[in-house]
Structure 1
């Protein structure tokens, strides 16, 4: 609902735009305030508030408020709230966290378990047969690939992460049937990652891609785990996308661990933890 308002705002009359900005600025308050206060806050007339609601396709203010309350009932607005130049630290704190939580909740509500289940089964099968898993990513996605290696390495899996394009191409060239390549990309348009994915697939390895829907990479792999979010891939410092990718890796790692079984994993993890004790101060 809020995404639709944001997309439609440029086509509204100036007075209705002020009402739209009031909704986007604080949807919870808008859903609870009477029309008189809403009109005062937006510096418009009461009929303009109602007219805005109808312009957005609702029967009137009451219907709009009811739907708005439902859309924010998860606890945060489902919209990417940009940080403004004059925001205070407290404003930044709220906006950044709201962005993160909104993206994660949206993913929880919209993600399909079917491709995730397929990906987890492929990775678990790769572990059972003793084959190799390679994680590829560039930039921020390269950091996610390293985190993935750390997660799956602890499960006793033979894996490695590459963030260098040349290493990715060389690694993909050495993959074979039974191996698996996991390619992580925010934009899904990075040439090196596309090349590595194509090479791995030609060599018979199963390719799992974690990227935005509709991107070239999304259709290049065997299994696509959609990572869609309101943050543009051309941002200078992606935040939400990176955290969403990390969450997807955590879901995959947990699902694979369950398939391996606690009876096999727990002794290994327990011994690993005991061996690390002397690395910490008492």
Structure 2
């Protein structure tokens, strides 16, 4: 329904519109343009621009495209995981992902501590990330409890790596706010650069894959996150080795 290039071209308002439509496709397919504008808090002009970015001349054509997508997806609810992987790696070859990873390395390298936060499947990967970074010589911990007592002096020279697919989880945003207040630098690894978590972070590494839901569960692939965590940890290790020579 939406290509990588289309998603990457969206501004903040268009991204919020995209997120609403992907989560409410059946409803959006039968809405009037003013109804959609009202529930998404954007102007009709923004919706029309969004439609043009998706190859449609107007909102009516976009709804036809949306209905056709719904009809075709009835028998293909869950995509082959290889599609999501190729979608991500195509973007890494054409985007500035390596540059963002290097910026993250430059931030992490001098830090005394690295804290990982996240919830749900992102929490599982945050715990994995902490273990992986520690295995390569960067002391890291996964903090599940936002009220876990950490002395301010420890956070002044720390980096927080926040994981979230949507970038809108209230638990994670509250946790980021607390850590930033105490002096921690935040790196967000999330699916969109226009999310709340991305706007709070000092550096965001977006990976842009199509978000997938099945019976209320978010089944969006986490393979890009694994790649980013492992690649960043290895690059930090290399930089420390070069620095010690």
Does residue 123 (structure 1) correspond to residue 113 (structure 2)? The answer is no
Structure with greater Cα Rg: 1
SS of the residue corresponding to residue 227 of structure 2 reads: helix
Assess if the C-alpha contact under 8 Å between 1:138 and 1:164 holds in 2: no
Shift of 1:136: 0.3
Unaligned runs of at least 5 residues, structure 1: 25-81, 265-282
Which of the two has greater helix per residue? 1
- The two structures have a TM-score, normalised by structure 1, of 0.56
Unaligned runs of at least 5 residues, structure 2: 7-51
Distance 1:175 1:83 in 2: 53
Distance 2:86 2:204 in 1: 23
The superposition leaves residues 68-107 of structure 1 with CA deviations (integer Å, 9 ceiling, x where unpaired) of xxxxxxxxxxxxxx995645xxx97x73212222223223
The superposition leaves residues 125-175 of structure 1 with CA deviations (integer Å, 9 ceiling, x where unpaired) of 12xxxx1111001111111111211211111222111234444xx448674
Query: 1:273 matched to which residue of 2?
Result: none
Rate the CA distance shift 1:262–1:115 in 2: closer, same or farther, 3 A. Answer: closer
Q: Mapping of 1:138-153 within 5 angstroms?
A: 138-153=119-134
Partner residue of 1:188 out of 153, 164, 167:
167
Partner residue of 1:98 out of 48, 63, 83:
83
Query: 2:236 matched to which residue of 1?
Result: 256
Which protein, 1 or 2, shows the higher relative CO under an 8 Å CA cutoff with sep ≥ 6?
2
- The two structures have a TM-score, normalised by structure 2, of 0.64
Aligned length: 193
RMSD: 3.8
Assess if the C-alpha contact under 8 Å between 1:172 and 1:199 holds in 2: no
Query: 2:93 matched to which residue of 1?
Result: 108
Distance 2:62 2:145 in 1: 50
SS of the residue corresponding to residue 218 of structure 2 reads: coil
